[in-house]
């Protein structure tokens, strides 16, 4: 089994988690949790999440409509 490419950093590090078909490595998972507290790399993460949503192909407007 190959580890998918992390949408956060682009590395293939095993042990992460998959969200809506996109892979997040353990390093970025830890960083994401830390960022929620510190917000130091907040802008950086906004860019990552934009890419994440683009890759899932899910339209955020559709999600809002369904909710």
Please report, as ranges, the residues that interact with Zn ion according to CB under 5 A.
Answer: 6, 8-9, 25, 28
**8 Å CB contact between 23 and 7:** yes
Of the two residues 12 and 39, which places its CB atom closer to Zn ion in the complex?
12
Of the two residues 14 and 59, which places its CB atom closer to Zn ion in the complex?
14
Give the C-alpha separation, 39 to 33, whole Å. 10
Q: Please, which residues have CB within 8 angstroms of residue 34's CB and are 6 or more apart in sequence?
A: none
Taking the complex as a whole, the smallest distance from the CB of residue 62 to Zn ion amounts, in Å, to 27
Of the two residues 22 and 28, which places its CB atom closer to Zn ion in the complex?
28
Provide the H-helix boundaries in 1-67: 26-38, 42-56, 60-66
Taking the complex as a whole, the smallest distance from the CB of residue 50 to Zn ion amounts, in Å, to 15
Taking the complex as a whole, the smallest distance from the CB of residue 57 to Zn ion amounts, in Å, to 20
């Amino acid at each position: 089994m190959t580890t998918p490419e992390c949408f956060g950093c682009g590395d293939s590090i095993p042990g992460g988690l998959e969200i809506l078909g996109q892979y997040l490595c353990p390093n970025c998972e830890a960083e994401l949790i830390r960022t929620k507290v510190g917000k130091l790399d907040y802008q950086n993460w906004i860019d990552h999440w934009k890419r994440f949503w683009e890759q899932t192909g899910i339209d955020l407007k559709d999600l809002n409509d369904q909710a």
